[in-house]
Amino acid sequence: MDDYLRRTAITRLRVSDEQSDLLEATISDWQHGATLASQIGWRENEDSKYGLQQLAYDNVREETRLGSQHAILATHQAASALTGVNELKDKGRKVSCPEFTSPTIKYDANTLTLFDDNTVSLTTVESRVRCELVLPEDEDGYQYQFLSDDEWSVTESTLTARDGEYFLHLGFRKPNPFDEQASPAEDRTVLGVDLGIENLAVTSTAHFESGKKLVHDHDQFEQVRGDLQQTGTQSAHRTIVGRENREERYSRDKLHRVSNEIIDEAVEHECSHIVFEDLAYIRDRMPNAKKFHQWAHRKLISFVTYKAEALGIRIEFVDASYTSQRCSECGHTSRGNRPSQAHFECGKCGKILHADYNAAKNVGWRFVRRGLNDSRRTGDSQLALKSGTVKPNRGFIPYSVPS
């Protein structure tokens, strides 16, 4: 569901030869980057935006001159195309890996800026270019209602080259006043989730999902595979393939069960939002995580996402820097708060918590605070905890008041 009204205004751009060269080069790198991401997603069977971003981002950056935001957008574009292709495949159609050959590129509010003088600045593979919009002489041109009204802000847009000219499909959006869900007065209850290895997932409501068995079984499988590979016979190879399929099925089953537990936790505590750390942060935080762990986290998030969507629960991601060093009680942040992997002890207020539980609460808090900083929002945001919900700077609300 969309919280916004969306409109598109199409305009031509006035472009110098030099700008044209840069835009052309950018589109070319975009086609290359999106196709590369598409091939990676096709090979790894990954079509979720965040999952593919995690898998393909580094490659796109290495193989193209796209900046970080355009590299991310290219992976998202590829993920959307793969999702479309997979839907066709599910209907029994013959499909192939999507390629990006049309002379078009996506922009968003980070890569495109619209100015009051009806010019835009666009990110390219080198410096930004600033071009004039070629608008109708007639002041009643429909484009003006979006350009001159501050309520409409620029969002996903598309630049297309055609016969040596550039056309910008400027996407605009504004909050949908008729959408109850988008109402700024909406109360939100947030479930924070910390992902890890020892504990696959821990929620702000203190639900722990151990990752030990999954990792143990995976390690054992790897060992047996190593032994079989040394054997090197045809039948050993067949055994490996059979076991790989079984292991993947087993791991997926386990991750489905864990995702169901997280959803149950959210439903039980009447949460409107489930919040994870951004995958890039999880990866930075766990440099020793194996490919298997990364795969497991991606799968888990994608399972939770589609199940949550069906229930009207939203999934959000937060920047999770310092979530493991910050005290979820008093906010004191220090490396010394984390004397061991599992143990959190605040050097200031003395609070002792399981470290992953502390991190899960911080992930949730970060999103709750984001709501407080949004001036349009007047609704309450609160974090779901084991014994009740907590609003920032306000009282504790137990789930059930003992009579």
Residues that bind Zn ion (CB under 5 A): 327, 329-330, 332, 346, 348-349, 351
Residue 12 phi, psi dihedral angles, 5° rounding: -90, 155
For the bound state, the minimum distance from the C-beta of residue 271 to Zn ion, rounded and expressed in Å, comes to 25
CA-closest candidate to residue 364, choices 389, 395, 344: 389
Start-end of H helices in 91-181: 143-147
Distance CA 176, CA 182 (A): 7
Distance CA 50, CA 40 (A): 13
User: Could you tell me if 34 and 100 are in contact, meaning their C-beta atoms sit under 8 angstroms apart?
Assistant: yes
- Residue whose CB is less far from Zn ion, 336 or 379: 336
- Residue whose CB is less far from Zn ion, 293 or 326: 326
Distance CA 201, CA 207 (A): 8
For the bound state, the minimum distance from the C-beta of residue 334 to Zn ion, rounded and expressed in Å, comes to 9
For the bound state, the minimum distance from the C-beta of residue 326 to Zn ion, rounded and expressed in Å, comes to 9
Residue 170 phi, psi dihedral angles, 5° rounding: -80, 120
- Residue whose CB is less far from Zn ion, 297 or 326: 326
For the bound state, the minimum distance from the C-beta of residue 350 to Zn ion, rounded and expressed in Å, comes to 7
For the bound state, the minimum distance from the C-beta of residue 358 to Zn ion, rounded and expressed in Å, comes to 9
Q: What radius of gyration, in Å, describes the C-alpha atoms of the chain? A: 24
Three-state DSSP class for 172? strand
- Residue whose CB is less far from Zn ion, 65 or 332: 332
Cα→Cα distances 296→78, 176, 195, 307, 312, Å: 21, 36, 10, 17, 24
Q: Which residues, 6+ apart, have CB-to-CB distance to 181 below 8 Å?
A: 1, 3
For the bound state, the minimum distance from the C-beta of residue 355 to Zn ion, rounded and expressed in Å, comes to 13
- Residue whose CB is less far from Zn ion, 107 or 365: 365
For the bound state, the minimum distance from the C-beta of residue 328 to Zn ion, rounded and expressed in Å, comes to 8
For the bound state, the minimum distance from the C-beta of residue 127 to Zn ion, rounded and expressed in Å, comes to 46
Distance CA 328, CA 265 (A): 20
Distance CA 69, CA 110 (A): 7
Tokens of 49: 């935006």
- Residue whose CB is less far from Zn ion, 267 or 349: 349
Tokens of 71: 């590299």
Tokens of 340: 């061991």
- Residue whose CB is less far from Zn ion, 122 or 346: 346
- Residue whose CB is less far from Zn ion, 35 or 358: 358
The one-letter code for the residue type at 101 is T
Residue 94: count of CB within 10 angstroms of its CB? 6
User: What count of Cα atoms within 13 Å lies in the side-chain half-sphere of residue 348?
Assistant: 11
CA-closest candidate to residue 193, choices 13, 30, 367: 367
For the bound state, the minimum distance from the C-beta of residue 333 to Zn ion, rounded and expressed in Å, comes to 9
- Residue whose CB is less far from Zn ion, 332 or 377: 332
